[in-house]
Amino acid sequence: MVLSQLKNPGTPFVLGGNPSIMDMATGNVSMGAPEFSLMTAAYGDIARFYGFPSWGTAGCSDAKTPDQQAGIESAFGCLAQALGGINLIHDVGYLDTGMICSAEMLVMGDEVIGMVKRFIQGIEVNGETLARELIEKVGPGGNFLQEEHTVRYFRQEHWSPSLMARQTYDAWENEGGKTMGDRVQEKVRHILETHKISPLPDSVLDELERIKREGELELTREASEN
């Protein structure tokens, strides 16, 4: 941080780090260890103390394939960093302690992030959301599904998954009995086969070119001075 401000005073700064432990059985660094998430969350505390936004790492795993271990470590890390107040969380989709980038893990991570964002959104408590009069009107054993209040609020209150299996066992079996791995691979293939990248607007391209030219001039100037 000091170096960045000495170089260019007022430069925006995001404070964070990538600390972890050495696994004492293997000698390898671990990105799935709970201590990894604990120390990253501590960076969030330090950043808030000094008035900076924070960054950290989550959504990754020590697993070698996008398996059950990968899902457990990815979900734990994302929730831990969100609860720790980290502002910028990156490295989603990494396996083998950052040595492998997995498309399947990215897709699974997207599902995890949706769950975590809904969790930290919390419960909005006010007269409208509590709907005390509606509860008294419908009464015990009544049907809330036909109420306008339910229609108005359920989409913002209920997170809807794109990969999780929530149907009955019979329905799941009749639909092919696909595992999470099957569904993730299908979504990856669908994205790769159908996704089209929209071109950047000319104004954005012009601005990027301007930044590039300024950077080249700055590097040339510094090289000549040295």
Q: Which whole number is the average pLDDT over 28-35?
A: 94
Q: Residue 100's beta-bridge partner residues?
A: 95
Are 107 and 210 within one domain? Answer: no
Are 53 and 1 within one domain? Answer: yes
Q: Which whole number is the average pLDDT over 135-148?
A: 93
What share of the chain has pLDDT > 90, as a percent?
Answer: 87
Based on the structure, what is the number of domains in the chain? 4
Domain that includes residue 217, residue range? 199-226
User: Residue ranges of the alpha helices (H) in 34-147?
Assistant: 34-50, 68-83, 103-121, 127-130, 132-138
Query: Rounded to an integer, what distance in angstroms lies between the CA atom of residue 58 and that of residue 40?
Result: 9
Are 21 and 111 within one domain? Answer: yes
Give yes or no for residue 7 having a pLDDT over 90: no
Are 116 and 147 within one domain? Answer: no
- Give, as one character, the DSSP assignment of residue 97: G
What share of the chain has pLDDT > 70, as a percent?
Answer: 100
Are 23 and 88 within one domain? Answer: yes
Query: Rounded to an integer, what distance in angstroms lies between the CA atom of residue 56 and that of residue 44?
Result: 8
Confidence of residue 1 (pLDDT cuts 50, 70, 90): confident
CA dihedral sign, ordered 172, 178, 180, 186: negative
What are φ and ψ of residue 184, in 5° steps? -65, -45
Are 37 and 149 within one domain? Answer: no
- What distance separates the 2 farthest-apart alpha carbons in the chain? 81
Confidence of residue 18 (pLDDT cuts 50, 70, 90): confident
Are 27 and 111 within one domain? Answer: yes
Predicted structure pTM score? 0.84
Please say whether the beta carbons of 98 and 62 come within 8 A. Answer: no
Q: Which of 160, 183, 215 is the last residue of a domain?
A: 160
Are 86 and 184 within one domain? Answer: no
Task: Give the number of other CB atoms < 10 A from CB of residue 103.
Answer: 16
